[in-house]
Amino acid sequence: MAFDLAARLAERRAADLYRQRPLLESPQGPEVVVDGQRLLAFCSNDYLGLANHPEVIAAWQAGAERWGVGGGASHLVVGHSTPHHQVEEALAELTGRPRALLFSTGYMANLGAITALVGQGDTVLQDRLNHASLLDGGLLSGARFNRYLHNDPASLASRLEKAVGNTLVVTDGVFSMDGDVADLPALAKVARARGAWLMVDDAHGLGTLGAQGGGIVEHFGLGLEDVPVLIGTLGKACGTAGAFVAGSEALIETLVQFARPYIYTTSQPPALACATLKSLELLRRETWRREHLTALIRQFREGAQQIGLALMHSPTPIQPIMIGDSAQALRLSRMLRERGLLVTAIRPPTVPAGSARLRVTLSAAHSEAQVQLLLNALAECYPQLENADA
């Protein structure tokens, strides 16, 4: 029996769910060139505007001169360079934890942490809207896998009553498609009452939340006992690449010994770690970036409310405009692009059926004038969408 790949692709096209890769022909930033067209972009996760920062670029170049290009081997063989170690120390300091462990990608960090901590005879409970890498880690672990209602401590508590073995509760810190923030204090309280560990993937909170940019755990003032396992990625607010797990000495040593995605992969380029060190320095020192970002979020939400856009309850740089129908979401995205604005339409299976949306993301590199340009275009285009439905 042959694989009918053409039929699968045709089915996806017919459902307005086919995806294509836009070709970025410029560095990350508010103004980009995509597929030969100059556009004002509102779809990057470069929340603090560090991906093309001259000091970060210079740090990478100097790192390549000093340390070469490739990592050369896995961390446990001879690939753990001084810059890698320095990044781990800086991340431990930023998150207020004894240690941190550097991974090459966020996907690997999530798979590695979950599969190293739970297995057959254990339980993993996850928020219904968690990122795909968290869900995959839970399924691959071999532990009993269940999902609780989104951001619902009561739903978690009822599932914890049926948990067996070591139990790991897993949630995103900031949910990547909705932009809302996990109720960590309540989730931590429920988990601790049942002797479960709470693991938080703070991919979208690190750098944007907390007075020092330490993320959602700092934002809520929680400690190691509340959130024993903290994940963060470096390719978003930090502007570079990679990820980490931060926690106790025992946790990090356990991951070094048992996290297969860490053990069996070549380390990231040491020059990349040099760039990350610089971006972490800027993230902490230049607090104006978070302050400006907060002002832009307020400006966008107030303007969107005046237009009558259906926003979600998000205090973060992720500001989804709910549309519902995938074809209509694509249409609004195309109308904006015709006006020189790049805002991505997000459709199932990334989001639940019937909840297609435009995912606006704001950056500290955006100006108030640029956000106003987006609001003006939405005020012009959104009513056309409603008229088409009438």
Catalytic residue list:
176, 204, 236
Cβ distance 138 to 145 under 8 Å? yes
- Per-residue tokens: 259: 């996290």
- Per-residue tokens: 364: 């500290």
* Sign of the CA dihedral with 91 first, then 93, 96, and 97 last: positive
Burial class (CB within 10 angstroms; exposed 0-12, middle 13-18, buried 19+) of 264: exposed
Angstrom distance (rounded) from CA 93 to CA 77: 26
Task: For 265-301, give one letter per residue: b (16+ CB within 10 A) or e.
Answer: bebbbbbbbbbbbbbbebbbebeebbebbbebbebbe
Residue 349 preceded by cis peptide, ω within 30: yes
- Strand 344-346 relative to strand 243-247: parallel, antiparallel, unpaired? unpaired
Q: What is the DSSP string of 354-379?
A: T-EEEEEE--TTS-HHHHHHHHHHHH
The residues, ordered by sequence, that sit 6+ positions from 132 with a Cβ below 8 Å of its Cβ are none
Tokens 């926003």, residue located:
311
Backbone angles phi, psi at 268, to 5 degrees: -70, 160
Cβ distance 377 to 336 under 8 Å? yes
Cβ distance 217 to 200 under 8 Å? yes
- Per-residue tokens: 322: 């709910």
Residue 110, Cβ neighbours under 10 Å: how many?
29
Cβ distance 262 to 256 under 8 Å? yes
